[in-house]
Structure 1
Amino acid sequence: MANTPYPESYYAASANPVPARPALQDDVETDVCVIGAGYTGLSSALFLLENGFKVTVLEAAKVGFGASGRNGGQIVNSYSRDIDVIERSVGPQQAQLLGNMAFEGGRIIRERVAKYQIQCDLKDGGVFAALTAKQMGHLESQKRLWERFGHTQLELLDQRRIREVVACEEYVGGMLDMSGGHIHPLNLALGEAAAVESLGGVIYEQSPAVRIERGASPVVHTPQGKVRAKFIIVAGNAYLGNLVPELAAKSMPCGTQVIATEALGDELARSLLPQDYCVEDCNYLLDYYRLTGDKRLIFGGGVVYGARDPANIEAIIRPKMLKAFPQLKDVKIDYAWTGNFLLTLSRLPQVGRLGDNIYYSQGCSGHGVTYTHLAGKVLAEALRGQAERFDAFADLPHYPFPGGQLLRTPFAAMGAWYYGLRDRLGF
């Protein structure tokens, strides 16, 4: 049987030790079968186990193999489309429910880290950096919007203040969110998996779901075994493939690229980001960066629609890093990797149920670290019969990409080119 290892990333190289987890080779029964051991699946499993369910998790590769173990590691609040966009689409009542949840994911992460003593280099503080006066105006509006929903840990940064938190001459200002922050994302996933197992949950690695047998007692088939369950949670996101065709039709895997420098040393690292906050800019095709626990700079950006792996990731990302920090021109890049996230046409997550017993959440659209932790709680609530918050997500309108799977990639790339041009021209 094929063994799929982690990609050669900084995260895999610095991962905490983990036990060997077997592939499923038997027929088992459980209350809930979770497909995917990333943040959505692990968060769902943890909340369900804490509420007395018997849970089995199937992972096609290794825990955190997908976006959960490859992302920029930034705790960013709200959704890829903010609450005001949601409000215009669905009205004030549904938007109020979704707005009340927009800042919950970060709290869940911190609760998990504290409760289960997860070692993942958690640091507080995230900065949204404005490159233009228009972007700064957007941040001022965003602060008012978030404060309307009770989120008050925010500070607007003028040009002088942003120079105090990030040594980049490009920015005209920004906004600091002290409930934002950053983590070692793979170690967070590994710690959550250990928590799942500490509560009696079972995780099978190298066990891809190849077929779902739907019905009153659904069965998930793997190459060498099967799981019969009362409920199924589909949490594969960009790595689900065509297992559930009706979900694949409304989403598109996209790749993002990340590099990690050599260790910079305390002095240089502190000169770049004195308070150790993470940063993302306000462009549509944004750049994001932060320091690691051992004082490397993680820098990411760029989107490859259709999730192809670029031939030379460093050639794409290093110039972006040097534009922000020309003082790093002689610094060596130790790691470069790519990972996929799942894009929806609305850029809002897709949540729902197929039949009576197959639940899903997917399509974080690049905003997944916090949302996936919330999604696990919302899915677990729905399985317990508390569906109000689940329904608020499930009722969001979603549409297939125009032209179907054949044309979704060029259409999305064309839209991104347009918005990227707007970023460059400053309007």
Structure 2
Amino acid sequence: MRRLRDERGSTVVTAIVLLAMMMMMGLATAGLVDGQQEESGRERARESSLNLNEGVLYAQAFVLARNWPSGDGSVAFPATCGSGSATTTYCPNRDTLAAAGPAGGGSANFTAADYRAGATWTTKVRDNGGVMEDFYYSEQADVAQAGCPVTPCTKDHNGDRQLWVQVSTKVHGRPRSVVALLQLEEFKEAFPTNAVTAGHVTVSNNGNHGGRALVDITGSQIAVRCDPADPACIVSNRTSHIQPRTFAQLPATQTAALSPTQLQRLKARAIADGRYFESCPPANANLAGEVVWVEECSGSYGSSLQTVPCPSGYPGLSANGGCINTPASPGILIWHKGTAKFTGNDTFVGLIHMANDSDGTGGTTGTVLETGGGFQIFGAASVDGGGGLKVGSAGVPNIKFFPNVFNSLASYGTAGLVQNTWRELDASG
């Protein structure tokens, strides 16, 4: 029998070999797990970067919907916006995006650990003109575009209401870059389809004009906020001055044709289109445009306003002078506060709406809109509140109802993604 102190045999050697094999397997397993964890971390960072990318894209779309850079007078967007730049009207709010922003994440939407350090983003807004009409080339994004007044072209120079937006993000050193074509959508605005809407109406002309109407509302009516049977409500020296004599009294609660919310949307569009006047437009102003806004003015305008030749083929359209807008492209002129008088021989094609400060303290109950001479409104006229419309001397119908002017009344809605234009760029561009 072997003694316990006998050291002969292979048990110890076998144990050492097995222990070594187990250690190697453990190290291999640990290395595999570590590699998988690293890959998982990289994948998470890439996905986090893409999520931030899409968030910034929609934030830029939100900004564009409210400040679309179109029209000759609109402000061009910055060449780039970024997480390190100061927040402006034309850039996404950096404090509401990644928590790594200057605000420290207090109001951020992306607050996970990946976004708390080392998360950055930049955006580029570019016109889809020239070589980038159908496809976005990152290497062409910063070069000059023919005819565009700014380089790079950061405004809707071609006027098609479409713009490219490129967003580049980096989370934990993992870059992602996407681009998409955004299109500005229009929001149709409802408006009473009356030839005239006002607190009261006066036709001051005394002439017979051969029995011809000075206010031709054929196909519509005059809607007033007073009793049409009251002699002071609709004043006309001759029954022939208003034809046909179709009148309606508005409910006492209907004091404005447009709500304050509608007015704000239309004002925002006028600003975006570069058709906004903070005070009285000059005597030779261009009042043409789908939506033109005059904030506050009490002024009189003659034959110096900018016009285009009036087309033929539209019964009742004056041919005495030029046209502000055309029947094919009518517009709305919104006079927010104050009064306006138009004389001369020109024709405004569209809707003249005197808001009469309806969304504020309210305006005057006197005459707010006055026409005279050979000036014509080919479309409709509206005065909010108790304000009145006055039609003076005329060689042509001062107001000729044209129903098509209500069809194109629209503000700007959202800036939506054009289908099949979203794609990811390589990390370098």
Normalising to structure 1: TM-score of the pair? Answer: 0.23
Computing the radius of gyration from Cα coordinates, the structure with the larger value is: 2
Bigger RCO (CA 8 Å, 6+ sep):
1
Return the structure number with greater helix share: 1
Normalising to structure 2: TM-score of the pair? Answer: 0.23
